[in-house]
Amino acid sequence: MADSRQKKPELFELNNGSLQIKVSNYGCTITSLSVPDKDGNLADVVLGFDSLEPYQKGASPFFGCIVGRVANRIKDGKFTLGGVGYTLPINNPPNSLHGGFMGFDKVVWDVVEHKQGEKPSITFKYRSHDGEEGYPGDVSVTATYTLTSSTTLRLDMEAIPENKPTPISLAQHTYWNLAGHNSGNILDHSIQIHALHLTPVDQNAIPTGEIMPVKGTAFDFTSEKKIGSSIHHVGLGYDHNYVLDCGDEKMGLRHAAKVRDPSSSRVLDLWTNAPGMQFYTGNYVDGVVGKGGSAYGKHSGLCLETQGFPDAINQPKFPSVVVKPGEKYKHSMLFEFSVE
C-alpha cells in the first residue's frame, strides 16, 4: 500500500448555493466556510490559510482539521491497555496532544466519494497502522462532510479497529469567528453551552478526575453570556472540557452549544453525540498570518471540539474511549447556521 504521505494534498469544494465550504484531504481540514449574515452578505467564518502549504509546514495551530487517533491530552503520553503499557510522543510537554507529532491532522486521506447536487458531500478515508504514533492496532477511519440543507453542515466520523483494542476519540478543531475570520477577537460573541459540569484540570491541563458543577463560576454558560464577560477569571482563557449533560435531543444528537455574533447576527448551533466538548478560546494563537494576510491574534477564534473526555484512557470514572475489534466508533456533529 502506498504511504499516505506521498499522496497529494488538494482542496475540494462543497456548495449548495447558500453555504460554501472548502475542505482538504490533508487532515480533513476545513479551510474556508462562507455563511450569509442578516443582510445576505457572505463572510468566511473559519480561521485558516489561503494555500495548503502553511498547513503542511506546521504553521497551523490545528486550524480546521480532524485530530486523532485520540483528541486532547493524554497524561505524560502513557497508558496501559490489556496489561500492555504504551508510550506516545510528548508533543505538548509533559503530555501527548491530539494524536502526537503526526496525528490524523497531518496525513493525507483518500477521497472515496465527492458528490455534487442538492446535498453535496465528500468522504475521506484513512488507515492508521499498528504502532503509528505509539497507538495499538490498525484502525480504518472515515469522515464525511455533507451540506444537509441550505443552512447546515454535518460531519460523520467512523473508526473501526481491525485487530487490537485501542483508544479512539476524534475531534473537529475548526476555529470559528462568526463576524468573519479577519474581524478581530471573539470576546463579544456570546455562547450558551448545554453543560452543568466540566472536568477541572491540574497545572498541566490534565483532568483531575473530578466532575465539577459550573454553577456560580466563571465557567457557567448554561444561560447565554458574552465570552469576554468572565474570561479574565480563568487564566489565559477557556480551554476546558464541558460535560454535555443538559441539551435537547434531535435525530440522536444532543444540543451542545449556541454561539452568537452581535455584529453580523450570525448564529451557530452545534449538535453532537459525543459526551464532552472542549471550549477553547484560541489562547495560544499569536500573530499567525492567515487568509488575505490577516493577522490572527489571541482569542481571534473559538473552538467547539466535541470529544471523549481528555485523558479518559487513564481515568476509570470517565466514559471509556476504548474501542474493540468488532465495534465501531461513531461521532457526528451538526453545525446549523442562522441569523437572529
| Residue (of 177, 149, 134, 170) closest to 47 by Cα position | 177
**CA separation for the pair 72, 307 (Å, rounded):** 8
Q: Using the 8-state DSSP alphabet, how is residue 95 labeled?
A: B
Burial class from Cβ neighbours inside 10 Å (0-12, 13-18, 19+) for residue 154 reads buried
Q: What does the angle CA 284 – CA 290 – CA 296 come to, to the nearest 5 degrees?
A: 40
Q: For the chain, what is the radius of gyration of the CA atoms?
A: 19
The CA-based diameter of the chain, rounded to the nearest angstrom, is 59
**Three-class SS state of 43:** strand
DSSP characters for 218-286?
TT--SS-EEGGGTGGGSTTS-EEEEE--S--EETTEEEEEEEE-TTT-EEEEEEESSSEEEEE--TT--
Question: Could you give the residue numbers annotated as active site?
Answer: 173, 305
Q: Which cell numbers hold the place of 284?
A: 495560544
Q: Locate cell 485523558: which residue? A: 311
CA–centroid distance for 206 within its chain: 18
